[in-house]
Structure 1
Amino acid sequence: MKKRYLVTGLGFLTALVLINWIQVSEESALVRSARLHCSQEPELRVDNHNQGHSRPKYFDSIDTDLRPWKDGGITKSSLSAARKKGSMRMVISQGKLYIEVYGKCPQSRSIFTAWGLLLLLERFPGKVPDVDFVLNCKDRPVITRYSSFHSRDLCQDEAPAVFSYCTTNDMLDIPFPDFSFWGWPEVDIPPWEEQSQQITAGSREVKWSERRPAAFWKGNSRMGKLRSHLLQCQSLETEILDQDWISESRAGFPNSRLSQQCKDRFNIYVEGAAWSASLKYRMACGSTMLNVESKYREFFSAGLIPNLTHLAISANPDTMCQEIQAAVKWGNSHPLEAEAIGRHGQDFITKELTMDHVYRYMLELISQYAKLQRFTPTIPHGAQILCKDAIKHLAHTATNF
């Protein structure tokens, strides 16, 4: 029997159908479903999300991320150049979402990202401006800062503007909330709203002072050199467990409950081949986070403050293990300070990275991006309108055949 998690009106889609969803053609099941179930008439809703919200400090990074286009704006030619780098084009016109797919996304990332945009439109009716942007759904960013201006067809101030799940100091990609906030069925992780509550509840089962006085990491060690180096850090103070997701999936994910991985005082985060979506899950435990220096940053990374929300560990493979051991030793010798760091990290994740904040970040980012457009967005030829009913119909079909 397939598991189904009912969250925000959508069955938690199984990987059975969605892994290859991105291979969309004109006559695909999704397109046919969208044509049957998506009306061109606007849906009227009441916005119940306008009152009593905070604006986390990391929202300020939107200005920094959009600064390359502040003077010249985002033009048709830069959008065309972005299309060559991204995976799909998203157009919002009069409160409707249109999608043009021309690249391949891993697993079911594209459909969960599209689902998030549909929920954004539903959450803020009439407030999301008309916009035309390109999304890259791969792990790594794609727009190099210093080579983006050297195309014959682009002026210096017409760098491609691409939304990605992460960026770096050397890249121009604009960070955008990743797919896992709405679900990651391939590894049996429900949407963030549900998952964060489960992890927080699990963290209350064992007080920080009563947890094992060691550091813990569990994940796929084959994702990047840094993780393979982490295997060498195994010691009495550090437990490193390699996760075989293929075997775990076949067994029904019996050992992957994130809410049951809050038994240690210290938790290690290390990025994989690129950014890893696991940071928010680890920090929700309330363990003292040992954050191995990251090259990649997410949209909320500016809110992470060393010695307040986490302890910083160098990514130098020659010193990483020693620094982890030293951090564990310090934390066990200074339990009040170490516990406070874990609590601050958990508070940041549970209070400033709620789904309400995620949607508000999306709204502010898209609104600021739209102001930089030097053209009026139009529905591109070949783009398909997308709606919740089409995706729910597809999910219902997938879980009942």
Structure 2
Amino acid sequence: MAEHVKVVHGDEVSQGWLSKVGLGRVRGFVTTTTTFIFFFFLVVIAALIWMDVVSPFRFTSPSSKIHREKIHHERIQFPLNCSCFVNYMTDFEPEESSAETCPDYFRWIHQDLKPWKASGITRDLVERGIPMADFRLVIVNGNVYVERYRPSFQTRDLFTLWGILQLLKLYPGKVPDLELLFYCGDNTVVMKRDYEGHRATSPPPVFHYCGEKAALDIIFPDWSFWGWAEVNIKPWEETLRAIKEGAERIKWENREPYAYWKGAPTSADRGDLLNCNVSDKHDWRVRVYKQDWGKEIGEGFKHSNLEDQCTHRYKIYAEGRTWSVSEKYIMACDSMTIMIQPEYYDFFSRSLMPMRHFWPIGRRNKCRHLKFAVEWGNNHTHQAQAIGKAGSKFMEEMLTMRNVYDYMFHLLNEYSKLLKFKPTIPPNAQRICSETTEQGLAKEFMLQSMVKSPSDKLPCTLPPPYESRAIQVSLNAKEKITKLVETWETE
């Protein structure tokens, strides 16, 4: 998959000059020079010890083995083209005391893996999921292998695997051996109805980007956190930074007092939005723009920069075929997000609360609901602005790349505990590395999102699972708030 670059340690010194001088003079010179260097070396070491910046490699007794200690102010950098040698950093140990508690949405990891908690996961169970999967991922001794079954849409599989490789670089030697199946499409594939009833069997574990109430897909962070080359969306950290800068250009109160949406009408909900645009007969306080990606690609993405779309007080989130990666970009703008009731969720959105992080509206009568939300916001500017800022703060603070990697780490770690077989490398699998032969934006985004050194602290501490009652209480609360908003509109 990639070319390896040989790394040469140390300097090569030419010895040809010995033939041009007398051997005795050379010996005398070497003796004098060696003595000088020896005493100079002692002075330097003494100074380094006094300054407390001595090398992290020190000798310990009585074993006389080299022991590596972590130096907080010196991060060990990975060579750019040696990432396939993951195991050479497995002795890097951050301090135990550095771990923090993970955000609350990490609790859903336990819930997503609950179908296999009692029985465990056998090899036969994994094999039954192959017809649903795009590829099989195997991690053995810190090395990553992939067996592909069918092409995924665009470069979703490529960037998903890239993210997993970066996880192994961030926490070298910490990700356990495992074997899993992954699906990169839109629709959920493991449906509950197929594994219920008197002839029910255990469902196959298949990883995917989104879930729904009727499905059992295991939710994993989507590819766009490392970039979406086909539509010129940079890796999440870079995109978030740009959106925050874009949001600061226009103060909330000076933005257009309308609800904004721009995208491809790939679903009924999005198609309905086009009917809510301003016309000679109606002004639903909505400004909707249809995205022509073919035109954008041809013109170099001049009119699709996400950081230029923070110009309205309100932004609309509408699902595409299923869930949409646009959710995090929309909510990062500081504008109040008006969310059309979603059917699907990703790994973090289950912890978003209506009227705290977004304004909820129903799927029917969208135009009327949108108009009421905008008019309410324009009459309650402080409350509307607070909702927008809370949603943006969640994206900025709870959805850091550190948390994305920690979610991946804990999900894979908890999943591996359920395996009742030893992961092995399939005959048709290929080993993949962080060196990339991609070109253009794909290569650029990979370099931008590359983990350049191991973590200086442990992953956050995984919180315990939700109790069943707590989940139901949360769902009831969301439903109650949504109905309350509908009551305001009716009254």
Shorter-chain TM range is: 0.7 to 0.9
Alignment CA distance shift 1:49-1:203 (3 Å):
farther
User: Percent of aligned pairs with the same residue?
Assistant: 38
Residue equivalent to 2:395: 349
Task: Give the C-alpha shift of residue 70 in structure 1.
Answer: 1.0
Say if 2:131 is the partner of 1:88.
Answer: no
Say if 2:160 is the partner of 1:113.
Answer: yes
Q: Say if 1:85 and 1:136, in contact at 8 Å, map to a contact too.
A: yes
**Letter aligned with residue 352 of structure 1:** M
- What stretches of structure 1 move > 3 A for 4+ residues in a row? 32-41, 45-50, 148-151, 393-400
Which structure would you say has the larger Rg?
A: 2
What do you get for the CA RMSD once the two structures are aligned? 2.4
Residue equivalent to 2:205: 161
Residue equivalent to 1:231: 274
In structure 2, the gaps of 5 or more residues are 7-81, 445-491
**Letter aligned with residue 122 of structure 1:** K
In structure 1, the gaps of 5 or more residues are 1-29
Task: Give the C-alpha shift of residue 159 in structure 1.
Answer: 0.9
- Residue by residue, what CA displacement relative to the aligned partner does 1:18-64 show, whole Å, maximum 9, x if unpaired? xxxxxxxxxxxx3x758998857723163669736451111111111
- Residue by residue, what CA displacement relative to the aligned partner does 1:47-104 show, whole Å, maximum 9, x if unpaired? 6697364511111111111111111111111100111211001111111111111112
Task: Give the C-alpha shift of residue 197 in structure 1.
Answer: 0.6
Cα separation, 2, equivalents of 1:396 and 1:331:
43
**Letter aligned with residue 166 of structure 1:** C
Residue equivalent to 1:328: 374
Which of 423, 429, 435 aligns to 1:377? It is: 423
Residue equivalent to 2:144: 97
Task: Give the C-alpha shift of residue 210 in structure 1.
Answer: 1.2
Q: How does 1:2-401 map onto structure 2 within 5 Å?
A: 30=1, 42-44=87-89, 46=92, 51=98, 53-148=100-195, 156-221=200-265, 223-235=266-278, 236=283, 237-316=285-364, 319-389=365-435, 391=436, 393-395=437-439
Task: Give the C-alpha shift of residue 139 in structure 1.
Answer: 1.1
Cα separation, 2, equivalents of 1:47 and 1:281:
35
- Residue by residue, what CA displacement relative to the aligned partner does 1:267-292 show, whole Å, maximum 9, x if unpaired? 00000111111000011101000011
Residue equivalent to 1:25: none
- Residue by residue, what CA displacement relative to the aligned partner does 1:211-230 show, whole Å, maximum 9, x if unpaired? 11110000001x01111111
Cα separation, 1, equivalents of 2:112 and 2:302:
40
Alignment CA distance shift 1:121-1:249 (3 Å):
same
Alignment CA distance shift 1:301-1:49 (3 Å):
farther
Q: Say if 1:216 and 1:266, in contact at 8 Å, map to a contact too.
A: yes
Cα separation, 1, equivalents of 2:423 and 2:399:
30
Q: Say if 2:86 and 2:143, in contact at 8 Å, map to a contact too.
A: no
Task: Give the C-alpha shift of residue 394 in structure 1.
Answer: 3.8
Q: Say if 1:98 and 1:379, in contact at 8 Å, map to a contact too.
A: yes
- Residue by residue, what CA displacement relative to the aligned partner does 1:361-380 show, whole Å, maximum 9, x if unpaired? 00010111111111111111
Alignment CA distance shift 1:387-1:344 (3 Å):
same
Q: Say if 2:86 and 2:168, in contact at 8 Å, map to a contact too.
A: no
Residue equivalent to 2:50: none
Local SS of the residue matching 1:99: strand
Cα separation, 1, equivalents of 2:119 and 2:163:
30
Q: Say if 1:109 and 1:137, in contact at 8 Å, map to a contact too.
A: yes
Cα separation, 1, equivalents of 2:149 and 2:294:
28
Local SS of the residue matching 2:287: strand
Q: Say if 1:163 and 1:173, in contact at 8 Å, map to a contact too.
A: yes
Q: Say if 1:38 and 1:385, in contact at 8 Å, map to a contact too.
A: no
Task: Give the C-alpha shift of residue 381 in structure 1.
Answer: 1.3
**Letter aligned with residue 411 of structure 2:** L
**Letter aligned with residue 66 of structure 1:** L
Q: Say if 1:267 and 1:287, in contact at 8 Å, map to a contact too.
A: yes
Task: Give the C-alpha shift of residue 156 in structure 1.
Answer: 3.9
Task: Give the C-alpha shift of residue 248 in structure 1.
Answer: 0.7
Q: Say if 1:218 and 1:240, in contact at 8 Å, map to a contact too.
A: yes
Local SS of the residue matching 1:146: helix
Cα separation, 2, equivalents of 1:396 and 1:234:
37
Cα separation, 1, equivalents of 2:93 and 2:354:
37
Greater displacement, 357-366 / 142-151: 142-151
**Letter aligned with residue 193 of structure 1:** E
Cα separation, 2, equivalents of 1:156 and 1:67:
16
Cα separation, 2, equivalents of 1:209 and 1:39:
51
Cα separation, 1, equivalents of 2:268 and 2:183:
23
Task: Give the C-alpha shift of residue 128 in structure 1.
Answer: 0.7
- Residue by residue, what CA displacement relative to the aligned partner does 1:273-328 show, whole Å, maximum 9, x if unpaired? 11111000011101000011111100001221000000011112xx1111111000
Alignment CA distance shift 1:72-1:35 (3 Å):
farther
Residue equivalent to 1:3: none
**Letter aligned with residue 202 of structure 1:** G
Alignment CA distance shift 1:397-1:165 (3 Å):
closer
Local SS of the residue matching 2:239: helix
